[in-house]
Amino acid sequence: MKKKVVLVQDNKEILEIMDQVLEEEGFDVTGSLTTEPIKNIENIDPDVVIVDDHIKGSVKGSQVIKELKSDPKTDDIPAVLTSTSTNLASEAAACKADDFIAKPFGIDEMIDVVKKNTDL
């Protein structure tokens, strides 16, 4: 059975590239430029959530992850924060993200982080 990934990014091109690469790696990806999929998180039941910290017209990705990690229904879902921030490691730790992907990133690095957080 395919591992499920919820992917929220602020940039359409990055979203499409990540989506395509993860699909090629065998993941079932729910991609979005908004936090809409997060509202359906329990129905989607993902194996990992990847959220960009800067989502246009929305709360910050770190806030989304903080809320997921503070809810007993979703606190066990691995969450990965992505950003161009130079303080990404500390921002990820502060919101209790399980991991982070610094932009710009290498495709192999991104795949490794996702696989590590879905136990592949």
- pTM score over 0.85: yes
Mean pLDDT of the chain: 96
Per-residue pLDDT at 104:
94
Q: Where are the alpha helices (DSSP H) in the chain?
A: 12-24, 36-39, 41-44, 61-70, 88-94, 107-117
3 state SS of 48: strand
Per-residue pLDDT at 58:
74
Per-residue pLDDT at 57:
78
The structural domains of the chain, ordered by start, are: 4-117 (3.40.50.2300)
Helix or strand (DSSP H, E) at 80? strand 79-83
Report the side by side order of strands in the sheet with 4-8: 28-32, 4-8, 48-52, 79-83, 99-102
